[in-house]
């Protein structure tokens, strides 16, 4: 989706996003300053929305707005204001309606609905249309049972998101690999067998091996359309915040605003040649296309020392003093004495199904302990993990939890009903895997009308989050995403190439590198003085 290629100035400031889910645990470092308000429609506790026993809502919230603090993952719209509307466990259509009322009253711009039902509700349909007319855009997961698109993804006024996976984003032999169904593109993209399909699919997004936050301070890889939808919701927030149309012709909070937003997202899509448009819709949204007008207005920052370093490196390579670029140090830059080479990215932005790599070293600490949900599809399982919210009582109560999920090495037992534990203890790893999921469940009560409690929404968060083999992979260090093998310090004292002056804002190691390059080039007769 190219969300990771956007400049850091596009962060979604001024936009309100709501997740209607299982809450969001703000104890997690990636959510602590990001989720700022909410409502508890399960226990009616003032701060109940901050407790997430299913972990599904926290996972979705971090994909959208995980903190950009140098550790963990980074969300797509880190400066957006996130609200958590808690309707799980025990979600019912009446709870969903009340959550949507809250969103309209609070002036929410985008609602992420990683939930689904095999029952249609005219009351929910009417409320979603009312929200659309108030300028509230609903992004909905398609569902996870592999059948037709589930409700409310069947409604015309929402943006329905299917899941896709990328074959190199997870190790072979995992439950993720078992989801490959049908053709695989040259880039490795495939449509997983769990994703619902049909003419209602608008777009697709990463939904296999999506890495995100789970309570209290851990990370997990999940599959499902529940994780695909937050990718698109995050992009929707960026478009609303930064696309010029929403400060001019479509600034008003009305249905035109929502329709224009969805049109921009659909038109930005890159089609995936997987043989069935009903599985992928228009394709995968491309953030660079969707935000092209905003990007055109951004003045590039001064390049600093990079052009000079590149020119010097080219001269030294030609003189035989430096190995070709790519054999050390930063790409295109020389490897300086005392520098071990700059690591590649770690866990990135909940990225489009791409594996996140920790380069040049081993993990420096344990993955935080904690319990993870086994599966969130009502009455079903995903991978080897079972339990979690595995059934919905028509009266709104959670059904039996199923059998416990598989525990990770050194893990602690999760709550009864089956969450699997997260590994603890130091781990040596070179790769962390991402996954995402949303669930589509089947509501078990079809009765209810005006004045009655509506049937249970098979929303156990949309269809169910799953971990591969029942537990998340080891974290790539105490700070997932922090570079490993970063510079160890300047190799020499600072010096300046004659005639250039001291580079403004240059890091100490860059100044030292310039000094070293100067001496080498002077010795080779490439410069005078």
Question: Which pLDDT value is given to residue 423?
Answer: 29
pLDDT tens-digit series, residues 467-498: 433 333 333 333 332 222 222 222 333 323 23
Residue 514's pLDDT band (boundaries 50, 70, 90)?
low
Q: What is the dihedral of CA 459, 441, 168, 72, to 10 degrees?
A: 30
Question: Parallel, antiparallel, or unpaired for β 371-372 and 420-421?
Answer: antiparallel
pLDDT tens-digit series, residues 236-251: 999 999 999 999 999 9
Question: Which pLDDT value is given to residue 310?
Answer: 66
- Distance CA(309)–CA(246), nearest Å, equals 41
- Cβ pair 521, 312 in contact under 8 A: yes
Task: Say whether pLDDT at 383 is over 60.
Answer: no
Task: Say whether pLDDT at 505 is over 80.
Answer: no
Question: Which pLDDT value is given to residue 513?
Answer: 57
Question: Which pLDDT value is given to residue 2?
Answer: 84
Strand locations in 169-262 (E): 180-184, 189-192, 203-206, 210-214, 218-222
pLDDT tens-digit series, residues 190-204: 999 999 999 999 999
The whole-chain average pLDDT of the chain stands at 70
- Cβ pair 150, 116 in contact under 8 A: yes
**Which of 468, 472, 465, 469 lies closest to 437, judged by CA?**
465
Residue count of the chain, please give it.
529
Lookup result for tokens 């930005």:
268
Task: Say whether pLDDT at 511 is over 70.
Answer: no
Consecutive H or E run containing 63: helix 56-65
Distance set, CA 451 to CA 94, 120, 171, 447 (Å)? 10, 17, 51, 12
- Distance CA(320)–CA(514), nearest Å, equals 18
pLDDT tens-digit series, residues 6-64: 888 889 999 999 999 999 999 999 998 889 899 999 999 999 999 999 999 999 999 99
Residue 117 phi, psi dihedral angles, 5° rounding: -145, 150
**Which of 353, 378, 369, 424 lies closest to 54, judged by CA?**
378
- Distance CA(180)–CA(480), nearest Å, equals 27
- The domains of the chain, with CATH numbers, are 3-296 (3.40.50.200)
Contacts of 519 (CB under 8 A, 6+ apart): none
pTM for the model stands at 0.62
- Distance CA(94)–CA(499), nearest Å, equals 72
């Amino acid at each position: 989706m190219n969300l990771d290629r956007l400049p850091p100035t596009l962060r979604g400031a001024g936009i309100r996003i709501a997740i209607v889910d299982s809450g969001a645990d703000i104890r997690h470092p990636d959510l602590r300053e990001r989720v700022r308000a909410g409502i508890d429609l399960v226990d009616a506790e003032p701060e109940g929305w901050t407790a997430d026993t299913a972990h599904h809502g926290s996972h979705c919230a971090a994909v959208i707005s995980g903190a950009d603090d140098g550790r963990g993952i980074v969300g797509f719209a880190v400066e957006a204001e996130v609200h958590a509307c808690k309707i799980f466990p025990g979600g019912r259509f009446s709870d969903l309606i009340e959550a949507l009322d809250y969103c309209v009253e609070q002036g929410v711009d985008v609602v992420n609905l990683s939930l689904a039902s095999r029952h249609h509700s005219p009351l929910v349909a009417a409320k979603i249309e009312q929200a659309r007319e108030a300028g509230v855009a609903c992004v909905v997961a398609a569902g996870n049972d592999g059948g037709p698109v589930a409700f409310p993804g069947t409604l015309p006024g929402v943006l329905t998101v299917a899941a896709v996976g990328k074959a190199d984003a997870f190790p072979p032999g995992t439950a993720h690999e078992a989801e490959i169904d049908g053709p695989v593109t040259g880039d490795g993209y495939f449509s997983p067998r769990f994703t619902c399909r049909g003419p209602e699919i608008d777009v697709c997004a990463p939904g296999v091996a999506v890495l995100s936050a789970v309570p209290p301070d851990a990370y997990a890889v999940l599959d499902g359309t529940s994780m695909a939808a937050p990718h698109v919701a995050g992009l929707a927030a960026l478009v609303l915040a930064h696309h010029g149309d929403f400060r001019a012709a479509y600034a008003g909070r009305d249905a035109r605003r929502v329709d224009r937003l969805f049109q921009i997202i659909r038109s930005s899509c890159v089609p995936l040649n997987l043989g069935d448009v009903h599985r992928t819709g228009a394709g995968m949204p491309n953030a660079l296309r969707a935000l092209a007008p905003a990007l055109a207005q951004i003045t590039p920052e001064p390049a600093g020392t990079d052009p000079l370093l590149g020119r010097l490196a080219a001269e030294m390579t030609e003189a035989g003093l430096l190995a070709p670029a790519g054999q050390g140090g930063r790409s295109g830059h020389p490897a300086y004495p005392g520098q071990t080479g700059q690591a590649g990215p770690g866990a990135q932005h909940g990225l489009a199904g791409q594996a996140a790599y920790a380069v040049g070293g081993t993990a420096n600490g344990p993955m935080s302990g904690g319990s993870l949900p086994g599966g969130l599809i009502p009455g079903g399982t995903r991978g080897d993990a079972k339990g979690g919210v595995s059934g919905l009582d028509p009266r709104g109560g959670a059904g039996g939890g199923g059998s416990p999920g598989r525990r990770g090495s050194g893990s602690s037992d999760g709550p009864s009903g089956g969450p699997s534990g997260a590994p603890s203890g130091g781990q040596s790893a070179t790769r962390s895997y991402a996954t995402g999921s949303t669930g589509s469940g089947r509501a078990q009560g079809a009765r209810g009308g005006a004045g009655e409690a509506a049937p249970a929404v098979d929303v156990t968060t949309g269809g169910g989050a799953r971990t591969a083999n029942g537990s998340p992979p080891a974290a790539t260090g105490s700070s997932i995403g922090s570079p490993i093998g970063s510079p160890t310090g300047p190799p020499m004292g600072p010096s300046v190439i004659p005639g250039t002056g001291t580079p403004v804002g240059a890091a100490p190691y860059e100044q030292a590198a310039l000094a070293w390059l100067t001496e080498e080039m002077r010795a080779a007769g490439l410069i005078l003085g």
